Every structure is written in structure tokens, then in C-alpha cells.
Structure 1
Amino acid sequence: MTSSDAFGIYVHWPFCKAKCPYCDFNSHVRHAPVDTMSFAGALARELAWFATETPGRTVTSIFFGGGTPSLMPPAAVAHVLDAIATLWRVSPDVETTLEANPTSIEAENFRGYRTAGINRVSVGVQALVDADLRALGRQHSATEAIAAFRLAASIFPRVSFDMIYARPGQTPDAWKAELSHALAEQQGHMSLYQLTIEPGTAYFDLHAQGRLVTPGEEPAAELYDLTQELTEKAGLAAYEVSNHARPGDESRHNLLYWRYGEYAGAGPGAHSRLASGRNRRALIAEKHPETWRSLVETQDHGIVSDVAVTPEEQAQEYLLMALRIAEGVDLSRYGALAGRGIDAARLASLAELDLVTLEGQRLAATARGRKLLNAVIAELAV
């Protein structure tokens, strides 16, 4: 399937039980019960608006992210999926993913999600060390996480085991033992992210005060190399910088993003990229949940920004996304968007440094290049 054929739907559920100290996503804690079906209805209404903007498209993937989508009751998930099926043609092999936390309470909803139409779950295990889970603000234990993951694997056709590494005080030996444990449990896909310190988070403030110390550049690189070594031995290819899968188990929805495909994002703070002639529309919804819902009630959508992305700007976005994946960049597509090719001398220089490979019209980052990806992109984007 080409990027022009794929069309995804992203659904943002903004609520969490607690705000994790490392998280900079649009997530909100409500101490009073959330009217979940009211928000599900608003999501369906906004999706109906998006359907009028994208006539004739076939939905190939759906992704429920957040926030914590596993706080949605199955009836709310079903309501949204039913709306999508009514509004668009849905591919018979559509991938429908929901991000889930592995607390025992949320795991109780797994069978209901499967009945609603979810066929892939991304389980946010994050760590298999209880002390580190507490430090990360997670509300489950390692034992609870493994139990929830096994339950998910018994219910859903596809599951992802998601973890964070390069945590404070983490050594290569400790990570090797932890990742080896996870690899013994995984079912074909793992998302393995290095901890990053993002502005606006509790961790950012602690880090600035010197009260949170994360591994430096060299130790983090060692942990990255160890991650690649162990996942490769387990048969999980690094198809993206932080994502590993057996052939055929890659996340189709995330590949749509990295291949710079089209998607509609519904919900508070959601982003969209929609074709508009040679331009694209970059849409962003209001972040505050209740304000977003009020906007949907009055104007059928919560969009607060709708900006045209020129072909040249699209070329830069495409380069930024596609260099993250093993298949890399289609230079003919880049050239058609940018109106020019990438300077041959720059390509040759990066290839000589073993940072990129060039096969025909396909440009990809090497293993070394992935570790220096920001620098590679900066050099190519000039």
C-alpha cells in the first residue's frame, strides 16, 4: 500500500488518572467523574465533520491515543468505531489500535475492547522494575504489567510491548536483564523509547534543579546499542528508530505517519494532515477537553488552527519523518514536492561518513546515522 492509498484516523482521549512526570502529551486529570459518553459523542460529531472534508477516502488504520484511552469504557470505544464505519469506507483489514495501561482495573476492559472492534493493543509497560515504575509515576507493578500483557496477548491478534529506557541510574547490565525479560514476553512488536526530558514536565524542572540525573550521551548511546543488539537477536528488526517488529508486525498506523500519509485527528489537541490540492492542511484542535467539547457542540469541530503547508514545506516534513524508518526517503517524491533534489555533494559526504545509504531513488539512514539522526536531517534539509 502506498502512502497515497493509506488514510488513518487518530482519536485522542485526553484523560489520565495521574500525570506522569515525564509526559508532555495533552493529558488531563479530573477529580470528578468524566462524562465519557458525552465525550465519545463529541468525538463522533467531530469525525462527521472530518468526513465532509475527506470524501471518498478509505480508512486503513485507526489509533486511540492519549492521555489514557484504556480509561474509556468499551461502549465509548464502540460508539466511536461505529461512527467511523458509518462515515467512511473502512478497509477489511483495518488496523485498530488502542493504547492501554496495564493496571488490573483497565485490563478488565480488554475483552470489551475486542468486542468493540479493537484488534491491536499497545501496552504501556514502561519498566519491569517496581522502584522505577514508581519514579515514572506509573500505577502498576511489574508483576501486574506482565499479567496484563499476557491477558492482552490472549485476547487481541496483535500486541505491542512498550518500554522506556535510559532511566536515572540505569546500567547496561540492568537494562540487559530487563529487556531480556521483556523479549521473552513480547509477541512481535516492541516500542523502546529513550527517556527524554521535555519542557513543561515535572522531570524537566527536577532535571534543571540537578535533582534528576539521567545517563549522559555516551552511556545512553551504549544502552541504545544494547537495545539494537538484543532486539535483532530476537528477530525484531528496527523498522524505525524506536520501534522493533517481526516482519509483518509493524504498526501500520505509525508507518502512515512516518511515510507522510494523510490522517484525520479527532479530540482535544489532536493534529491532522489532509490533502488540499498541491498543499496540505495542518489542523490542530483546542487542547482543553471541556473547551474542545463546547466548540464541537457549537461548530461541529474543535479546530483552532488550519494552516496550508506548501509543497516545499511538505518536502521537509517528509524528510524529517521518513528518515526515521528503515525504508527511508523516496527521493523522487521528495524532489516532486521540493521542486529540487538534495545536493549530491551532501549525499556523498554523508554516505562517506557511513551516515546514509543511497540505492537508486531510496535514501536511508544507516545504523550509525540513526544515532545522529538530528544532525543528518539538519545537513540534508539545507
Structure 2
Amino acid sequence: MPASANPLALYIHWPFCLAKCPYCDFNSHVRDRIDQDRFAAALRRELATEADRLGRRRLTSVFFGGGTPSLMRPATVAALLDDAARLFDPEDNLEITLEANPTSVEASRLAGFRAAGVNRISVGIQSLDADALRMLGREHSVTEAIAALTLARALFPRVSFDLIYARPGQSRDAWRAELQAALAIAADHLSLYQLTIEPGTRFEALHRQGRVILPDEDLAAELYRTTEAACAEAGLLAYEISNYAVSGGESRHNLTYWRYQDYAGIGPGAHGRIMLNGTLHATRRHRAPEAWAERVERLGHGLTTDDPVPTAERAREALLMGLRLTEGIDLARFHARTGQSVQASVNQVMLAAVIEEGYIRQTADRLIATPEGRLRLDALLSALVL
């Protein structure tokens, strides 16, 4: 398949935040001052360099992530979208998402982002409980969160927001009440994540000290089932283990990741998976913002990794991503993308066992984790994937 035949999703990383959240292991950095002109110019130059390498691909989505992209100037977003439209062939219904935090400073920029061309906003609310917001290190209040979401719904045709549950001390009843409040103000999409302890975060240190204690496995499972049931009742169905949407409201950009399709990542620390001349490449940019910008100014790009992905690794990645989806893995597409069958990529004895237990379902054309399987997905994958 020629490179031009592979549609492309574009990820643009803005690495700066007002504060580092204690649970976050993303490539985010706090600076007293941000040279907006320098980083805007570097992003535009790296995008041009990447487009020159990739050729004119059909562009299916653009996602501004971070960090906190709502700290960008709307003019920078507009310039990057103009560049992307000139360098690629955007679909008529191109999905353009920007992540935003609901502080009053960032909410004041929402109209500017809409004017720049953003048509989907993802608001990082994380909780509708004041004590939980403080525990999570968030910079906004519940009042600001609701106000920002109300404004976003008035401006953007598609709106999502994030919540984190399975927090220390959280009961099923407390989460159900918070979730019902969220569903009452939801639009077409919700991202609902169980709190996890990530290496290198402040929460990891507190967890080691016994100062952050997560719900046990049984309670976490109850919270997950409560989440799925409440969302379904409100018309938002689980299409991925942590994401819920009305029909047609799914994040097309994130589906690109989970379906293991082509995406280009630009900006500090951004990753990509790109098919070039029949070979799938894994790309990564320098993580440190200033070092990345210096490399772009000197070389035209901040790439530190651009390596072919071996067949076995392609299969492993596709399994890890695809089994998160309610739709599961398309077996023919898996073989075409990875170069080997699903059957050759899993432990056959374990596959038979988890099918027998009802955790995995296999049809003529798909491999699908059942609801109970998705509940145990990490353990399943560690045993199943070669």
C-alpha cells in the first residue's frame, strides 16, 4: 500500500502547564515564562518538515494535547491548522480537538479557539468534588469547571470532559452521585479514568509511604460497573475501556490509536506510528521543551527516535490497544497492519482458557474482550500477549 493511501491523524503537543498534577506522568513542564513566539515557530517548522517527509496524506483528525494546550495563543492554533490544511488533504468533516483546563484564564480563550477552527473541546475537569480537586492538585474550582463546561457547550459542536474516579476514600455511593451530576451536564462524550499510580509521580512517592491508598480490587470493580451502567442509562455507551459516547460522538482521533492506524506526533516528547515505504516507523521527539526547540531550529525537527517496528512488536502493540475497544480487533486489519495473524501473536493455551472463562470472545472476523474481560484487562493482556 503506498504511503499516500494511509490516512493520517495529527497530534500536536504543547508541553506547558500551570502546575504539575501529582498523578500525572505526561510530558508536561511548569515555566514562569513561556516564549510563545519561539514555540509556535518551532511547532510550525516541525510540522512542515514532517509533512515533507510523509507526503500529501488524507488528514482525518488533529488533536492538540499536552501539557495544557489551552495555554497556547489561539493565533498559534489557527496558524498550525492553516498549515495542516495546506500541507495535507483534510477530510470535509475533519475532527479538530483541543484539551482545555477550566481555570478562568483558560476559559476566556475558548471563543478564540473556536474561531481558530477547533470543533471539539476536551475539558480536564477531573472531579466535581471540591476536596477531590484539592487532593488531585487541580487549579480550578467546581464552580469554574461548570462555568467552563457551560461556555464550551455554547461554543463547540462537540464537547467532552474528563473525570477521575477510584480515588482514595471514595465510596460507590459518592461516585454514583458525582457521576450522575456529571451526566446531567454532559454533551456527547465522557472520559472516565480510574486513578492509577504512575512511576515518577508525586502520588507514587505518597503511595509508597502509605499516604495515598487506592480502593481495593473489589471496590474498583464495583466502581467500574457502576460507571458503565450509569453512562449506558444516560445514552453514553462504552466504546473503549475508559471512554463513553453517544452514537457518532466517539473520538475519531483516539480511535486511530486504538485501531493502530497511522498518526504523526509533533512537539516535545510526541510519539508517532507512521507507515513509510511499506515499513511501520515508531517516532519520538525530544522530551525537554527547550532542547526540542533548539533541535528544530537547527535541524528542522526534534526527532530522537525514528525506528522500524519489528513484526512481533507491531502485533503486541496492536493487541494492547485493540482489546481496549468494545468493538475489539478486526482480524484481517490486524494481519495487514502487523504482518502476522492474531493466532500467531497470542499464547494459544491462555487464549482458549480466557475464552472458556468468558473474558474473550472470538468470532469469524474479530477478537473481543467481554465486559468482564475489560474489567481484568491488564491481567489478561500480561498473560495472553506474547
Q: TM-score, normalised by structure 2?
A: 0.95
Q: How does 1:345-356 map to 2 (within 5 A)?
A: 346-356=350-360
Q: Deviations over 1:252-286 (max 9, x none)?
A: 00000000010110100000111023421111100
AA in 2 matched with 1:43:
L
Whole-angstrom CA distance in 1 between matches of 2:247 and 2:376: 25
Aligned 1:102-113 pairs, distance under 5 A: 102-113=102-113
Q: Which residue in the other structure is 1:58 paired with?
A: 58
1:88-99 aligned within 5 A: 88-99=88-99
Structure 1 counterpart of 2:379:
375
Aligned residues: percent identity? 53
Instruction: Tell me, in whole angstroms, the C-alpha distance in 1 between the residues paired with 2:383 and 2:29.
Output: 38
Q: 1:340: Cα distance to partner?
A: 4.1
Aligned to 1:309: 309
Is residue 10–residue 265 contact of structure 1 (8 Å, CA) maintained in 2? Answer: yes
The 2-side partners of 1:213 and 1:369 are apart by 25
Matches within 5 A, 1:331-342: 331-336=331-336, 337-342=338-343
Q: Confirm or deny: 8 A CA contact 1:279 1:311 kept in the other structure.
A: no
Q: Which amino acid aligns with 1:143?
A: T
- What is the Cα deviation at residue 47 of structure 1? 0.5
Q: How does 1:34-73 map to 2 (within 5 A)?
A: 34-73=34-73
Aligned AA for 1:84? A
Specify the alignment match of 2:206 in structure 1. 206
SS at match of 1:256: helix
- What residue number does 1:126 align with? 126
Number of aligned residues: 378
Query: Helix, strand or coil: the match of 2:343?
Result: coil
Shift of 1:341: 4.4
Task: Give the equivalent residue in structure 2 for 1:23.
Answer: 24
1:76-122 per-residue CA deviation (whole Å, 9 max, x = no partner) reads 11121111112111111110000000111111101100000000000
Letter in 1 for 2:65: G
Cα distance per residue 1:191-249 (max 9 Å; x no partner): 00001111111111011111111212111111111111101111111000000000100
Please give the per-residue CA displacement for 1:3-62, whole angstroms capped at 9, x wherever unaligned: x7531110000000111111100000111x211122111001001111012112011100
Distance in structure 1 (CA, Å) of the matches to 2:182 and 2:81: 31
The equivalent residue for 2:101 is 101
Amino acid in the other structure paired with 2:334: Y
CA–CA separation in structure 2 for the residues paired with 1:341 and 1:256: 19
Unaligned 5+ runs, structure 1:
none
- For the pair 1:9 / 2:13, whether they are aligned, the reply is no
Q: Secondary structure in 2 aligned to 1:210?
A: coil
1:326, distance to aligned residue in structure 2 (A): 0.9
1:358 maps to a residue whose letter is Q
The CA deviation at 1:332 is 2.5
Give 1:168's aligned residue. 168
Residues in 2 aligned to 1:322 and 1:380: alpha-carbon distance in whole angstroms: 13
Q: Over residues 266-322 of structure 1, what are the superposed CA-to-partner deviations in whole Å (9 max), with x where a residue is unaligned?
A: 100000111023421111100110110000000000001111102332121111111
Find out whether 1:266 has 2:266 as its counterpart: yes
Q: Which moved more, 1:232-241 or 1:217-226?
A: 217-226
Q: Which sits farther off after the overlay, 196-205 or 83-92?
A: 83-92
For 1:268 and 1:92, locate their aligned partners in 2 and report how far apart those are by CA, in whole Å. Answer: 29
Alignment-derived partner of residue 196 in structure 2: 196
| Aligned partners of 2:274 and 2:280 also within 8 Å | yes
Q: Aligned partners of 2:55 and 2:354: how far apart in 1?
A: 42
Per the alignment, residue 365 of structure 1 pairs with 369
Shift of 1:360: 1.3
- What SS does the corresponding residue of 1:98 show, helix, strand or coil? strand
Question: How far, CA to CA, are the matches of 1:287 and 1:151 in structure 2?
Answer: 33
Q: Is the 8 A contact 1:6 1:256 kept in 2?
A: no
Cα deviation digits, residues 122-180 of structure 1 (max 9, x gap): 00110001111011111111111011001001000000021000111111111010000
Give distance in 2, aligned partners of 1:293 and 1:339: 39
Task: Give the letter aligned to residue 79 of structure 1.
Answer: A
Q: Which moved further from structure 2: 200-209 or 75-84?
A: 75-84
**Residue 349 of structure 1 aligns to which amino acid in structure 2?**
A
Post-superposition offset of 1:376: 2.3
CA contact (8 A) 2:315 2:342 kept: no
Contact 2:6 2:275 in 1 (8 A): no
In 2: Cα distance, 1:205 partner to 1:379 partner: 28
Tell me if the contact between 1:342 and 1:380 (Cα under 8 Å) persists in the aligned partners: no
- Return the alpha-carbon distance in structure 2 between the equivalents of residues 322 and 109 of structure 1: 35
Deviations 1:339-365 (A, max 9, x none): 344166544322210101122111110
Q: Which amino acid aligns with 1:289?
A: P
Q: Are the aligned partners of 2:315 and 2:340 in contact in 1 as well (CA < 8 Å)? A: no
Deviates more, 1:306-315 or 1:45-54: 306-315
Q: Which residue of 1 aligns with 2:219?
A: 219
Contact 2:51 2:87 in 1 (8 A): yes
Judged with a 3 Å threshold, the aligned counterparts in structure 2 of structure 1 residues 63 and 219 are, in CA distance, closer, same or farther, namely same
Q: Which amino acid aligns with 1:364?
A: I
